[in-house]
Amino acid sequence: MSNADLHARRTAALARGVGVMTQNFVTKAENAIVTDADGNRLIDFAAGIAVVNTGHCHPKVMEAVKAQLDAFTHTCHQVLPYEPYVRLAERLNAAVPGDFAKKSIFVTTGAEAVENAIKIARAYTGRPAVIAFGGGFHGRTFMGMTLTGKVVPYKKGFGAMMPDVYHVPFPTGLHGVTTADSLAALDKLFKADLDPARVAAIIFEPVQGEGGFYPAPQDLVARIRELCDTHGIVMIADEVQTGFARTGSLFAMEGYGIAADLTTMAKGLGGGMPIAAVTGKAEVMDAADPGGLGGTYGGNPLGIAAGNAVMDVIEEEGLCARANDLGERLKARLAEIQKTTPEMAEIRGPGFMVAAEFITDGVPDADLTNRIRLEALNRGLVLLTCGVYANVIRFLAPLTIDEAHFAEALDILEAAIKAARGA
């Protein structure tokens, strides 16, 4: 069955709302190399959108999952608990930034983690309101998409959003929004529309993912922490995309020296298996009554086994340092390309969470960005775009990528940019 045959079947069988970036149907994947139904070999610089940070089918992760498969696959932890669930919680409690007692819960997706973090914050504070940022992405469930700061495609056509959610601008210097602008908007919000005594939580991504890979400035994070402390607000760091060595530390918040009250995570935790978590201050996490948190598949034994193995691999293979090394080399190569590519307006991002933004004659250039993506795909390199204006290419290769494949990918990228520009 060819890619074309499978695409025709997919179009007939799947809902239109499930968007797909390529028509390459995967038949095999190992580390950073994917093979499709036509036998094409692709270098994966998407990693399942920052999921397989440890590479496709890492041997240690697969071994752990297979061992768990032979033992049992599901009991529902709320009915019959199991030790690996507790062990992974203990490890996250120790690893998440913050010099205070912590507790964790496991769910299945990043959106679920965000939803539960909001529930916990509301239960702890007894307050309803939540503040989020423009350009942020927090999921496609109703609270998740309400928190998300982008209408198309996440909110369009889905009716009324959840109440008591407020957005303020996120600093994006390239587009003229400074930290001072964001803080002024927060101040205005508190003066004009929202009593801070009604706010349960402020949620933000340390590096915006879908929004364009914009890192949160240090002074913004510090001010959020200060506001939360002053007004009794729960600070939530959404580390779903930034977590598990992607930014050069296990969690991006480590780079700020500031601890959130609650941290949401998913993606890289499972190495390809669906698992998500919320970890935070013990007294905050304990605010919900028994039965108020959880889910039938939350902390499924296979995902838990994968999570424990991923934590081992990150430590044993030094993947935080590896992320910094790969990211520096990628940014250096992009800087060389930028010398002959005036449309490449900015290169940014910590660790190996790197992006390049394209602007032509002062206007965000989504068309050029997509042409680069397609040119790269035709040459065997999978790239993803992002950004409110769809003019950002994000680089999310596995942290375990082979040196030869990394070098090959950079050559393909340079050729694709030249071809897309007609150079």
Q: Using CA atoms, how far apart are residues 401 and 173, in angstroms rounded to an integer?
A: 32
Taking the whole predicted model, whether its pTM rises above 0.95 is answered as yes
> What pLDDT digit, counting tens, does each position of 233-284 carry?
999 999 999 999 999 999 999 999 999 999 999 999 999 999 999 999 999 9
What's the burial of 276, exposed, middle or buried (CB within 10 Å: 0-12/13-18/19+)? Answer: buried
Q: Residue 348 carries which side chain, given as an amino acid letter?
A: R
Q: What is the pLDDT of residue 114?
A: 98
Q: What are the residue ranges in the chain where pLDDT is below 70?
A: none
Q: Which two tokens stand for residue 30?
A: 């190992």
Determine the pLDDT at residue 135: 96
Q: How many CB atoms lie within 10 A of CB 25?
A: 18
CA dihedral 177, 180, 181, 184 (to 10 degrees): 170
Q: What is the pLDDT of residue 423?
A: 74
Sorted by where each starts, the structural domains of the chain and their CATH numbers stand as 3-54+320-421 (3.90.1150.10), 60-316 (3.40.640.10)
Closest CA to 128 of 82, 189, 196: 196
- CA neighbours within 13 Å on the CB side: how many for 380? 17
pLDDT of residue 86: 98
Tokens representing residue 88 in the block: 């992974």
Beta strands per DSSP E along 101-195: 102-107, 129-133, 165-168
- Residue 318's pLDDT is 98
Report how far residue 383's alpha carbon sits from residue 300's, in angstroms, rounded to the nearest whole number: 30
- H helix intervals, 264-365: 282-285, 301-316, 319-338
Which CA distances in Å does 277 have to 107, 116, 243, 345, 346?
A: 6, 9, 11, 36, 33
Please give the order of strands across the beta sheet that includes 199-204.
Answer: 102-107, 276-281, 262-265, 234-238, 199-204, 129-133, 165-168
